[in-house]
């Protein structure tokens, strides 16, 4: 059974919404009624059927519209996709990872035939049929990373490993939570994480870097991160802050359910074979408050998490201005009953 | 709990390639493809010799782009641990073994405008796959390869055939010396230097490069240390609540594994940092044999790399 792709927008009239099935599979990130930074990294192994963890690369009902939005972002701002020259081998590694995963796990939508370096890729939802030579840039209409990530949900960064550090030397970042590849490209692990509050003091980045430097082929890992977004906008970039920053002032008690979204990033990390680089994928899932509270446990828990969130974290995530309005709205869905451990719906 | 991603393989070919050096070829038992890898990577081979389990790292020297087989080369060294002797004397074509996923602690720095490779003896092995990749990706390189004699030098003809004038050989018995100072002085800006071979040679090359003003970022080396032997000592594992004895020719890591306790590792040679373990208490002196911990960390006595480091004394309590 194939996916049915929705026709919707992530800008202007914001027609994005989640089907009931998409709500049930939303990667709700809070395993308890409060939140603090931790090194919450776990093996990226297959999860329950139908969940966002079922396959290494998750494709969902928003795929076609999501890819249309990425094309719009890139047309306006080509610097969302950048790659330093020494990252070309890693780009090809990424082509292989994404094409083989998508074709294996969604055979009704994608197929890949390999005959040595002669590859044939078919993407039915986007109407693409491409024969190319793996390793030969001239046989694709874009550089390899841009080619495949215009066809795969999520932002991707390719991290070079050298001198005991990771370097963000390549990436495509068009659906980000207020950070910029154009600003961060070429930075080391701690440089690009410098703005995050509290976590440095807790030693989170020392431990995470040590862990990632030893990330092994065949053993990908994942973690969840989260923030909140006003309107279903994927492109909340610093470059376009003038377009979305003021949205935060438009939240009223009446429109919280529609306007305020929890934004969860499923981040995956793989060691790539030929380049020894690491690919860092950041796949954003959006859910409206009125959709989220259809799962009673999530409504109760998000209310409690937001109430107890340290102010530095609320500021960093940019939700201080509408936090109280959202807490007040969610209060209606928190009857004070205990919540069960873990993230899944009851 | 570590999920094992080791690969079941069968030995499909063994060939003597130089005095004391055998090449082993592995293919998967089910005929599936082996993962591609990056030049300079190694695999850890598990050897089951009766009740003794040894795990040794060996550089992968076949083409990184050919998943039909892997090749390693093993120099027979008559040490007390017996890994290479086991490989030479007991492993036959058809033997079934387990190998780890490829791990690369000696990768190419792709920013290099040129790659200068210096190998001594069996230290050639990581450069075999590295040159394959450099050549395929059209990155300029030169190999300077030192051996005691032509008979001891593995793969010289093959390399000269493949890479021609990019291969330079030096033989002790012909009184040919690597002109290191001149070599280091005459490289174009942006050259990266890689060295693998006997410990003394690595030290010499690294010191010469530093003296010649090379930036540390442009100089790369790989040395796998066999776990040194020493007097037996006791280890208490605090988390697993076990008490074990590390034998004369055993590493702490091997003793921990023999006791059925799962400890993380990647290189088993004191280089990668994966097996870093907290020391809770120590009755004796820690002999830090690794290249990973900083001098300050070693002095603190709070951490040890259990793949190569030992205790000179009664025993140690580890956070395992």
Report the complex ipTM.
0.87
Torsion of CA A274, A275, A278, A283, to 10 degrees: -70
pLDDT: which is higher, A210 or B38: B38
Q: Return the ∠ at Cα A102 (arms to A96 and A106), rounded to 5°.
A: 155
CA B232, B233, B238, B243 torsion-angle sign: positive
- Looking at residues B203-221, what average pLDDT do you find? 97
Annotated catalytic residue A207: no
Nearest to A25 by CA among A344, A301, A346: A344
- pLDDT of A52 reads 97
- Give CA separation, A272 vs A283, A314, B67, B153, in Å: 18, 35, 15, 32
CB contact under 8 A, B273 and A210: yes
Q: How far does Cα A131 stand from its chain's mean position?
A: 29
Residues 6+ apart with CB under 8 A from A304: A33, A34, A334, A339
Contact B219, B206 (CB under 8 A): yes
CB contact under 8 A, B273 and A213: yes
* Kind and range of the H or E run holding A206: helix A204-213
Chain A residues in contact with B132 (beta carbon < 8 A): none
Map tokens 């082509």 to a residue: A95
- pLDDT of B1 reads 35
- pLDDT of A1 reads 59
Neighbours of B213 (CB within 10 A): 8
Rounded CA separation B251/B311 (Å): 10
- Give CA separation, B144 vs B156, B160, B170, in Å: 11, 12, 8
Rounded CA separation B192/A99 (Å): 33
Choice among A55-64, A143-152, B46-55, B222-231 with the minimum mean pLDDT? B222-231
Contact A228, A330 (CB under 8 A): no
Residue B303: how many CA atoms within 13 Å on its side-chain side? 15
- Looking at residues B117-135, what average pLDDT do you find? 97
Q: Most B CBs within 10 Å: which of A217, A222, A277, as the mutation test of the B interface?
A: A217
Q: Could you say which DSSP state residue A154 is in?
A: S
- Looking at residues B232-239, what average pLDDT do you find? 95
pTM for the model:
0.91
Q: How far does Cα B132 stand from its chain's mean position?
A: 19
Rounded CA separation A81/A92 (Å): 15
| pLDDT-derived band at B80, boundaries 50, 70, 90 | low
Residues 6+ apart with CB under 8 A from A281: A57, A154, A155, A156, A266, A267, A268, A269, A270
Chain A residues in contact with B217 (beta carbon < 8 A): 162-163
Rounded CA separation B69/B47 (Å): 19
CB contact under 8 A, A214 and B274: yes
Q: Most A CBs within 10 Å: which of B2, B7, B38, B134, as the mutation test of the A interface?
A: B38
CB contact under 8 A, B273 and A43: no
Give the closest-approach CA distance of B53 to chain A in angstroms.
23
- pLDDT of A204 reads 81
Mean pLDDT of chain B: 93
Give the closest-approach CA distance of B133 to chain A in angstroms.
9
Map tokens 């966002």 to a residue: A52
Chain A residues in contact with B111 (beta carbon < 8 A): 86, 162
Q: Which of A150, A223, A248, A283 is catalytic?
A: A223
- pLDDT of B2 reads 46
Segment B280-315, tens digit of pLDDT: 999 999 999 988 898 999 999 999 999 999 999 999
Segment A77-124, tens digit of pLDDT: 999 999 999 999 999 999 999 999 999 999 999 999 999 999 999 999
Contact B15, B61 (CB under 8 A): no
Give the closest-approach CA distance of A334 to chain B in angstroms.
37
> Which regions in chain A score pLDDT beneath 50?
none
- Looking at residues B10-18, what average pLDDT do you find? 97
Chain B residues in contact with A275 (beta carbon < 8 A): 38, 110
Length of chain B: 320
Residues 6+ apart with CB under 8 A from A256: A289, A322, A325, A326, A329
């Amino acid at each position: 059974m194939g996916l049915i792709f929705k026709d919707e927008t992530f800008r202007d009239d914001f027609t994005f919404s989640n089907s009931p099935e998409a709500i049930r599979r939303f990667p709700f990130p809070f395993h308890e009624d409060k939140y603090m930074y931790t090194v919450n990294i776990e093996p990226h192994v297959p999860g329950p059927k139908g969940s966002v963890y079922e396959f290494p690369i998750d494709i969902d009902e928003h795929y076609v519209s999501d890819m249309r939005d990425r094309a719009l972002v890139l047309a306006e701002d080509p610097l969302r996709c950048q790659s330093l020259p020494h990252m070309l081998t890693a780009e090809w590694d990424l082509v292989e990872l994404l094409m083989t995963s998508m074709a294996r796990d969604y055979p009704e939508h994608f197929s890949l035939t390999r005959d040595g370096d002669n590859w044939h890729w078919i993407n039915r939802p986007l109407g693409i049929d491409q024969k190319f030579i793996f390793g030969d840039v001239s046989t694709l209409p874009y550089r390899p990373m841009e080619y495949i990530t215009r066809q795969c949900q999520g932002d991707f960064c390719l991290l070079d490993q050298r001198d005991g550090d990771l370097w963000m030397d390549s990436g495509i970042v068009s659906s980000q939570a207020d950070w910029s590849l154009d600003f961060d490209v070429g930075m080391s692990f701690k440089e690009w994480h410098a703005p995050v509050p509290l976590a440095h003091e807790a030693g989170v980045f020392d431990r995470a870097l040590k862990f990632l430097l030893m990330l092994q082929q065949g053993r990908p890992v994942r973690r969840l991160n989260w923030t909140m977004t006003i309107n279903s906008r994927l492109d909340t970039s610093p470059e376009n802050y003038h377009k979305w920053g003021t949205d935060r002032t438009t939240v009223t008690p009446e429109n919280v359910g529609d306007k305020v979204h929890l934004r969860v990033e499923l981040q995956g990390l793989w060691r790539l074979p030929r380049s020894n680089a690491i690919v860092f994928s950041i796949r954003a899932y959006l859910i409206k408050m009125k959709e989220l509270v259809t799962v009673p446990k999530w409504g109760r828990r998000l209310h409690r998490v937001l109430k107890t969130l340290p102010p530095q974290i609320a500021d960093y995530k940019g939700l201080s201005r509408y936090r109280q309005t959202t807490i007040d709205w969610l209060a209606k869905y928190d009857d004070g009953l205990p919540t069960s451990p873990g993230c899944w719906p009851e | 709990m570590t999920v094992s991603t080791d690969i079941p393989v069968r030995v499909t070919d063994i060939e003597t390639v130089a005095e004391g050096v055998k090449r082993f070829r592995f293919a998967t038992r089910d005929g599936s493809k082996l993962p591609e890898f990056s030049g300079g990577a190694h695999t850890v081979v598990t050897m089951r010799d009766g009740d003794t389990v040894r795990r040794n790292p060996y550089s992968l020297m076949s083409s990184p782009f050919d998943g039909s087989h892997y090749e390693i080369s093993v120099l027979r060294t008559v040490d007390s641990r017996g890994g290479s002797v086991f490989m030479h004397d007991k492993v036959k074509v058809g033997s079934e073994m387990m190998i780890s996923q490829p791990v690369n602690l000696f990768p190419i720095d792709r920013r290099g405008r040129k790659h200068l490779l210096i190998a001594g003896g069996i230290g050639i092995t990581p450069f075999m796959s590295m040159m394959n990749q450099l050549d395929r990706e059209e990155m300029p390189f030169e190999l300077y390869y030192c051996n005691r004699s032509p008979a001891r030098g593995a793969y010289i003809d093959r390399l000269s055939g493949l890479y021609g004038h990019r291969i330079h050989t030096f033989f002790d018995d012909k009184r040919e010396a690597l002109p290191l100072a001149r070599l280091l002085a005459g490289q174009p800006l942006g050259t990266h230097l890689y060295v693998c071979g006997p410990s003394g040679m690595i030290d010499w090359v690294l010191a010469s490069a530093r003296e010649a003003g090379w930036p540390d970022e442009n100089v790369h080396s790989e040395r796998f240390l066999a776990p040194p032997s020493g007097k037996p000592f006791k280890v208490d594992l605090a988390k697993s609540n076990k008490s074990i004895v590390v034998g004369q020719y055993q590493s702490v890591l091997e003793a921990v594994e023999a006791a059925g306790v799962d400890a993380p590792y990647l290189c088993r040679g004191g280089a990668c940092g994966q097996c870093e373990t907290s020391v809770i208490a120590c009755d004796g002196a820690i002999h830090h044999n690794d290249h990973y911990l900083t001098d300050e960390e070693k002095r603190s006595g709070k951490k040890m790399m259990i793949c190569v480091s030992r205790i000179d004394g009664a025993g140690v309590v580890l956070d395992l």
